[in-house]
């Protein structure tokens, strides 16, 4: 699917795994590095701030503007801005590019999630979300190594290594966006790769689900209002904030955590050791998503894998050999992708009305991404290891209780709902 490829292209820039290494590259460069360049990594997440204001509105207009055109335009403009970030010559220009990048990118992942709900029902959505979310994990696994390799281009054509990273990772996104415009279908009725019988089958399968009427699949402002007033939607959103806090913190500081294990690995070795963590996370999530679709249960898996991550963090905090610490890092990855990813399929499958579903999905991702602003400031950079790395673990343990609370609250309220709203 085009959205999987696009997630890979998108994940290259947002991959937090490369952050610390890009920072090290900037800091360790020759003395002619400008003050602007030294500020780059501290402001690389400026683009997350516009998510707060634009993810929900963007999601509300995607159907009217046609998903194929809207998602493709986002990808092309996103790639252009990311590429131009590599040639900025002032600190103000850098901030402008990052903010504009956030404005454009705000609609991409929520739009993809909403797009998947147009084609897939509750018995299929978790696995398809797993493909999309797994692509982001794969991008996280290889983003650091790719950035490290491109970093050797430092000085070519008079450009610093971090500039080449932005340029060479932005161009493919533009190309993918062009292909998206050509090949992505807007809905089952316009899917050129489906014949008439297959289109009818998709519609028939969706209509069997409670609440999926033709009227429900149209946009109504009354549904948006209902979503804004539904406390269960807000419960999901708060839980998403907690889970994403762990995800951003883990992926951003994973190289530092591995470095703090005390074996004095080189930078390429540290980046290589991050790959199994992301691979385990992606495999675990796709496997659990498949099983969740089959048995039609979400809560039990979220709770189990939340506990798995807490155990992993406990191992990271403990005074044990580096091999045991690395095993703890693998456990965290195994749990966090399920904990963060599965609710992205859980919430929309319980909202059959399109207006409420698209608002709730946008709000869920908005509050989740807010944690990306907070996560880089969870510890002071002047704290020496291993205290610094261990402090990264504590917020994860504290926030992991939210998904379990979410499970209890939502499951308890489900028995009080009318069947058409579940």
Rounded to whole angstroms, what are the CA distances from 145 to 20, 256, 269? Answer: 12, 15, 10
pLDDT reported for residue 202? 81
> Which conformational region is residue 157 in: left (phi greater than 0), alpha (psi within -120 to 50 degrees), or beta?
left
Rounded to whole angstroms, what are the CA distances from 28 to 154, 214, 219? Answer: 12, 59, 53
Helix axes 231-259, 322-349, angle to 10 degrees: 160
Maximum CA extent, the chain = 67
pLDDT reported for residue 30? 36
pLDDT reported for residue 382? 55
Range of the domain at 81: 2-421
User: Average pLDDT for residues 97-110, to the nearest whole number?
Assistant: 87
Backbone angles phi, psi at 329, to 5 degrees: -65, -35
Residue, of 391 and 202, whose pLDDT is higher? 202
Residue whose entry in the numeric block shows the structure tokens 């679709």 = 293
pLDDT tier at 200, thresholds 50, 70, 90: confident
pLDDT tier at 18, thresholds 50, 70, 90: very low
User: Average pLDDT for residues 51-68, to the nearest whole number?
Assistant: 89
Range of weakest confidence among 2-11, 246-255, 258-267: 2-11
pLDDT reported for residue 274? 85
pLDDT tier at 9, thresholds 50, 70, 90: very low
Instruction: Write the CATH number for 352.
Output: 1.20.1250.20
User: Average pLDDT for residues 286-306, to the nearest whole number?
Assistant: 91
Q: Which of 90, 74, 72 is nearest to 82 (CA)?
A: 74
Could you give the 3-state DSSP secondary structure of residue 120? coil
Q: Answer yes or no: is pLDDT of 303 > 80.
A: yes
Q: CA quadruple 303, 307, 313, 317: dihedral positive or negative?
A: positive
What percent of the chain clears pLDDT 70, i.e. is strictly above it? 75
CA 221 to mean position of chain CA atoms: 27
Q: Is the pTM of this model over 0.85?
A: no
Tens digits of residue pLDDT in 350-400: 888 889 999 999 999 998 888 877 766 665 555 544 544 555 555 555 555
Q: CA quadruple 399, 397, 383, 146: dihedral positive or negative?
A: negative
Could you give the 3-state DSSP secondary structure of residue 263? coil
pLDDT reported for residue 293? 92
Q: State the total domains in the chain.
A: 1
Q: Which of 358, 368, 375, 355 is nearest to 406 (CA)?
A: 368
Confirm if 339 and 302 have CB atoms less than 8 A apart.
yes
Tens digits of residue pLDDT in 213-241: 777 778 889 999 999 999 889 988 888 88
Backbone angles phi, psi at 261, to 5 degrees: -75, -10
């Amino acid at each position: 699917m085009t959205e999987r490829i696009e997630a890979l292209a998108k994940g290259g820039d947002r991959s937090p795994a490369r952050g610390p290494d890009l920072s090290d590259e900037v800091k360790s460069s020759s003395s002619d590095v400008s003050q602007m360049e030294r500020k780059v990594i501290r402001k690389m997440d400026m683009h997350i701030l516009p998510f707060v204001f634009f993810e929900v509105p963007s999601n509300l207009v995607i159907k009217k503007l046609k998903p194929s055109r809207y998602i493709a335009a986002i990808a092309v403009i996103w790639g252009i801005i990311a590429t131009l970030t590599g040639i900025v010559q002032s600190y103000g220009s850098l901030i402008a590019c990052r903010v504009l990048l956030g404005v454009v990118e705000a609609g991409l992942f929520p739009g993809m999630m909403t797009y998947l709900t147009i084609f897939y029902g509750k018995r299929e959505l978790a696995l398809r979300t797993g493909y999309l979310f797994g692509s982001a994990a794969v991008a996280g696994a290889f983003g650091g190594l790719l950035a490290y390799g491109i970093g050797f281009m430092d000085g070519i054509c008079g450009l610093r290594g971090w500039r080449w990273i932005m340029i060479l990772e932005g161009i493919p996104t533009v190309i993918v966006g062009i292909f998206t415009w050509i090949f992505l279908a807007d809905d089952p009725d316009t899917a050129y790769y489906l014949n008439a019988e297959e289109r009818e089958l998709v519609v028939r399968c969706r209509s069997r689900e409670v609440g999926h009427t033709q009227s429900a699949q149209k946009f109504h402002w009354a549904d948006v209002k209902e979503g804004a007033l539904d406390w269960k939607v807000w419960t999901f959103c708060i839980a998403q904030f907690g889970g994403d806090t762990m995800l951003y913190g883990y992926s951003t500081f994973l190289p530092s955590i591995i470095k703090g294990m005390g074996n004095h690995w080189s930078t390429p070795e540290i980046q290589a050791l991050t790959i199994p963590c992301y691979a385990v996370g992606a495999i675990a999530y796709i496997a659990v998503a498949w099983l969740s679709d089959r048995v039609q249960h979400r809560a039990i898996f979220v709770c189990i894998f939340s506990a798995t991550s807490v155990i992993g963090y406990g191992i990271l905090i403990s005074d044990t050999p580096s091999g045991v610490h690395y095993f703890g890092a693998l456990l965290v990855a195994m749990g966090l992708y399920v904990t963060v990813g599965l609710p992205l399929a859980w919430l929309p499958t319980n909202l059959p009305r399109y207006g409420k579903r698209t608002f709730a999905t946008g709000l869920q991702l908005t509050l989740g991404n807010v944690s990306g602003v907070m996560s880089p400031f969870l510890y002071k950079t002047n704290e020496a290891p291993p205290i610094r790395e261990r402090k990264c673990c504590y917020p994860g343990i504290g926030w992991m209780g939210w998904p379990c609370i979410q499970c209890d609250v939502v499951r308890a309220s489900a028995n009080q709902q009318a069947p058409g709203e579940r």
